[in-house]
């Protein structure tokens, strides 16, 4: 089925089977492998992407359902010259990752939160990442990373990580 996907601002027209998940389209058809395949049934959050600015699981959306929607993956956070965006940088600084498997999902979940709420407290942060499983960090450094990113976004006048709307 012919499907039009807008990923990181670029429009792709792909011919896909209805049973193909958005996750598989991103990884296998578009080569965007920063979105990780974890459990593939909606439990782990590793495949989180932004759809119309909101964090959702790409394994729980069929590619054909994403027709016409605005999709953003970790590849779309930066310009591609190796510069990290504010949230990625904060994860590095606070050791918010070890193996890195959950990290792309965590970063996009954090982005969705920070777009809607510029001053999240710890409870807001834990709620925002409640659907993302990390088996390494124990979550504490991830929470610290998002707190740091929020602070930097508030004080930065160059928001490479999107707009804070509230």
Partner 1 sequence: MKPAQFDYARPKTVEEACGLLAGDMDARVLAGGQTLVPMLAMRLSRPSVLVDITRIEALGGITLGADTVAIGAVTRQAAALASEVIRDEVPLLAKALRHVGHPPTRCRGTMGGSVAHGDPSAEIPLAMTVLGAGIVFADDDGEEEAFDPADFFLGPMLTSAPMGGLLTRLVFPRRGTAPTGTGFREIASRRSDYAFASAGAQVVLKADGTCAEARLGIGSVGDTPVAVDVAGLSGTRLTREDIRDAVAEALEDLETVDDLHATARYRKRAAARLAELALTEARDDALEQAG
Interface residues with partner 1 (CB under 8 A) are 1, 17-19, 21, 24, 39-42, 45, 48, 51, 54-57, 59-62, 64-65, 67, 109, 112-113, 126-128, 130-131
Q: Which is nearer to partner 1, 59 or 77 (CB)?
A: 59
Shortest reach from residue 95's CB to partner 1, in Å:
24
Shortest reach from residue 159's CB to partner 1, in Å:
21
Give how far Cα 156 sits from Cα of 27, 84, 118, 127, Å: 33, 15, 12, 25
Q: Which is nearer to partner 1, 18 or 100 (CB)?
A: 18
Q: Which is nearer to partner 1, 55 or 146 (CB)?
A: 55
Shortest reach from residue 147's CB to partner 1, in Å:
18
SS3 state at 14:
strand
Q: Which is nearer to partner 1, 91 or 139 (CB)?
A: 139
Q: Which residues contact 45 (CB under 8 A, 6 or more apart)?
A: 38, 57, 102, 105, 106, 109, 129, 131, 132, 133
Shortest reach from residue 24's CB to partner 1, in Å:
8
Instruction: For residue 17, count other CB atoms closer than 10 A to its CB.
Output: 11
SS3 state at 33:
coil
């Amino acid at each position: 089925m012919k499907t039009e996907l807008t990923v990181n601002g670029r429009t792709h027209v792909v011919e896909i089977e209805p049973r193909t998940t958005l996750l598989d389209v991103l990884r296998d058809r578009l080569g965007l492998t920063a979105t990780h395949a974890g459990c593939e049934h909606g439990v782990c959050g590793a495949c989180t992407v932004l759809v119309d600015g909101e964090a959702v699981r790409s394994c729980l959306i069929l590619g054909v359902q994403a027709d016409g929607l605005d999709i953003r993956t970790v590849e779309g956070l930066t310009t591609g010259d190796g510069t990290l965006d504010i949230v990625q940088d904060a994860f590095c600084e606070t050791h918010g990752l070890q193996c890195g498997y959950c990290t792309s999902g965590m970063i996009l979940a954090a982005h969705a939160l920070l777009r809607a709420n510029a001053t999240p407290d710890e409870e807001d942060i834990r709620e925002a990442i409640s659907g993302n499983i990390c088996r390494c960090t124990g979550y504490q450094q991830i929470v610290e990373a998002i707190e740091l990113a929020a602070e930097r976004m508030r004080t930065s006048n160059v928001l490479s990580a999107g707009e804070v709307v509230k």
